[in-house]
Structure 1
Amino acid sequence: MAESEMQRIALSSGISLDVVTAGDPDSPAMLFLHGFPESHRTWRYQIDEFARDHFVVAPDQRGFARSDKPPHVDDYRPEKPVGDAIALMEHFGKERFTLVGHDWGGAISWMLALTRPDRVERLVILNAPHPYIFQKTLFDDPEQRAASQYIRAFRNPELENHIAAIGLETFFDTSFAKHADLALMADEKANYLDEWAQPGAMTAMLNWYRASSIVVPSMDEEPKRPAFLDALFPPLQMPVLVIWGVKDSALLPCQIDGLDQFVPDLTLVRVDAGHFVPWEAPDEVNRAMRDWLPA
């Protein structure tokens, strides 16, 4: 097995990303996409494990860590990181691959699998809601709406000023306090603070939320429902493994209710962990993936 390495890769989508690769480039490919507010290190317990028999690709997505940070909110519309993912795998000559996504990386993975099923051989989702279910529950499930009010806060253009005033370390302690066991990430704190301190990083990361078309109503409003909630939604065509940390306080268990309606070939594994399940419960995650992937 080739050792993991970090490369700077200029993509045909117009930006450059820092990308970790591991494993034999001739092996079947796996693309791992992280979410907010992390980096490729989300997958620190998965990269070496799956590089034993796959070619593993784990980028720092646009706006994160030291990858490029284009300046405009529209630069973070979901189709942009979808384009990055396809361009990245084309760079390595991989037309089809197993796609693995967590949090925002999972949202991009859902979208890529829905819009480019020709590229995604198999899909693994970790604590990232299906777009139809997420939007529907933001209107119809008061508990999920309440749990998602942080998105409205993240879209506030004044948030960066607040973070600058309290400092990145305080933001670290408060942003993770409700969603992860800080003791499990003590050794990672310096990495987070370094990545967040990169010029433009905080605004770029928050722009993922600002660019999203997902409607998050306040608790006392009832805006017009998005039209797609009343239309047929296409089912996914490939096998899908969903690994769900059931203690997630931001994405509630309603996100996996009725998921088989949209994913005919679904394997669902519930894990006794919170939102950051790839590193909160790495043994369970790796075992679930190993059991599901072809031998």
Structure 2
Amino acid sequence: MPDFDLHRIDLPTGVSLDVATAGSPKDPAIILLHGFPESHRTWRHVIPALAEKHFVLAPDQRGFARSSKPADVADYTPDKMVGDLIALADHYKIDRFTLVGHDWGGAIAWMAALTRPDRVARLIIVNAPHPYIFQKTLFDDLGQREASQYITAFRNPSLEKHIDSIGLSAFFDGSFMKHTDFERIADEKPVYLDQWSQPGAMTAMLNWYRASSIIVPPMDSTPERPAFLSAPFPPVTQPTLVIWGMQDKALLPSQLEGLGELVPDLTLIHVDAGHFVPWEAPEAVINTMKSWLP
């Protein structure tokens, strides 16, 4: 039996999300945001540990698992997910909360912290690049640029046809096996395949990449730099914990360079793990979060 409950929540943003909850609503709230291509299952080891002292919410974000899958690419711009986040907190009458994000969930968490400091009290990031540093390194760090070429592939409108031709199981092996030890997630493979096989799920998940404004230059040319890279970038004002799996092949250590200048109240912890830290090294993640949280 899981150590959490799963609820279907209708939000005024026009989507319905499945949300894992655990702990007492009387305790301080913490919201966990997963990334691609996962679900609340990202946090399956973390949820019960945090629920000892927190009211924990872990939604399946729009486009993932059995949550709503709007049809248009424009429905997946990051501001839409920030809107879902705030609406979810409102649904549970949560004013301020600790926000945790991994991968794409971390991208939404960075944005929410920057744009809604009235709601996000503390921030925890797990292998998710700061938006300014990520865009900068895509221009200035050729290693990171090369590692991010998959984003261009994910934006290809023909990708779904390719996935259909090879099958979801082969796509699972190709997408995950480059980033982790299969033995760590072997039991989860049927769960992922079930979630990905939901109607419209693969396109919805890929639309997160297609809706993003991030520029991924090709390896053989460099386009004009975005103007915001030459302007002051607002700091993250919340106390922030960054947990980083140093064996991440998709997000290189350059993502940590200069982070302290953009996040003045920063605690940075290195973990010997790959990109999918919450289930590769759950003990390290849990212990680090517990020791940092008030």
TM-score band (shorter)?
over 0.9
CA distance in 1, matches of 2:164, 2:79: 30
CA distance in 1, matches of 2:56, 2:110: 19
Matched, 1:173 2:173: yes
The root-mean-square deviation of aligned C-alpha atoms, in Å, is 0.9
Q: Could you tell me which amino acid in structure 2 is paired with residue 145 of structure 1?
A: R
TM-superposed deviation, 1:216: 0.2
* Residue in structure 2 matched with residue 155 of structure 1 by the alignment: 155
Would you identify which runs of 4 or more consecutive aligned residues in structure 1 move more than 2 Å?
none
Look up the SS of the partner of 1:232 in the other structure: coil
* Residue in structure 2 matched with residue 194 of structure 1 by the alignment: 194
TM-superposed deviation, 1:221: 1.3
Matched, 1:261 2:275: no
1:45-68 deviation per Cα after TM superposition (whole angstroms, max 9, x unaligned): 110000111000000000000000
* Residue in structure 2 matched with residue 112 of structure 1 by the alignment: 112
Kindly tell me the number of residue pairs found equivalent between the two proteins.
Answer: 293
1:127-154 deviation per Cα after TM superposition (whole angstroms, max 9, x unaligned): 0000000000000000000000000000
Q: Could you tell me which amino acid in structure 1 is paired with residue 283 of structure 2?
A: D
CA distance in 1, matches of 2:287, 2:121: 20
TM-superposed deviation, 1:260: 0.1
CA distance in 2, matches of 1:181, 1:116: 37
CA distance in 1, matches of 2:261, 2:72: 36
Look up the SS of the partner of 1:17 in the other structure: strand
* Residue in structure 2 matched with residue 43 of structure 1 by the alignment: 43
* Residue in structure 2 matched with residue 289 of structure 1 by the alignment: 289
Look up the SS of the partner of 2:274 in the other structure: coil
Q: Could you tell me which amino acid in structure 2 is paired with residue 135 of structure 1?
A: Q
CA distance in 2, matches of 1:257, 1:111: 19
CA distance in 1, matches of 2:236, 2:248: 24
Look up the SS of the partner of 2:225 in the other structure: coil
Q: Could you tell me which amino acid in structure 2 is paired with residue 77 of structure 1?
A: T
CA distance in 1, matches of 2:255, 2:241: 14
Look up the SS of the partner of 2:143 in the other structure: helix
CA distance in 2, matches of 1:162, 1:271: 35
Matched, 1:77 2:77: yes
Q: Could you tell me which amino acid in structure 2 is paired with residue 48 of structure 1?
A: P
Look up the SS of the partner of 2:185 in the other structure: helix
Mind listing any 5+ residue stretches in structure 1 that lack a counterpart?
none
Look up the SS of the partner of 1:67 in the other structure: coil
CA distance in 1, matches of 2:48, 2:101: 17
CA distance in 2, matches of 1:84, 1:95: 14
